[in-house]
Amino acid sequence: MKLVFERAKMIDPEKFIRRCGYGLHKTRNGEVSYVKRVHGDWYPRFHIYILEEKEKIIFNLHLDQRQPVYEGITAHAGEYDGEVVEREAERINKFVL
């Protein structure tokens, strides 16, 4: 699910997403994203990538249900829509207001 915000309303997207309870997540190859655990275990977790454009900030949100099954393959059981993801998107939107 993509959440789109005007850049003027969000000066520092990294600081904003941390205020929403997300922590920095770096892969071995240096790719940066942010995660928020649903409960105490590592999975399931909400996962966000931040895309910065000239006039807008885009958060690409999904729910990782479990870790990748095969070593070296990044495919996972991710949900990009549905009730749980929509509720999390609403929660994030409330931080902007």
**Per-residue model confidence as pLDDT tens digits over 2-30:** 999 999 888 899 999 999 999 999 988 89
d(CA 50, CA 3): 10
The phi and psi torsions of 63 (rounded to 5 degrees) equal -115, 115
Give tens-digit pLDDT for 36-64: 999 888 899 999 999 999 999 999 999 99
**pLDDT for residue 71:** 60
> Cis link prior to 44 (omega < 30° from 0)?
yes
**pLDDT for residue 68:** 65
d(CA 70, CA 89): 29
- CB count within 10 Å of CB 17 equals 23
- CB count within 10 Å of CB 53 equals 9
**pLDDT for residue 65:** 87
Could you tell me the pTM of the whole model? 0.85
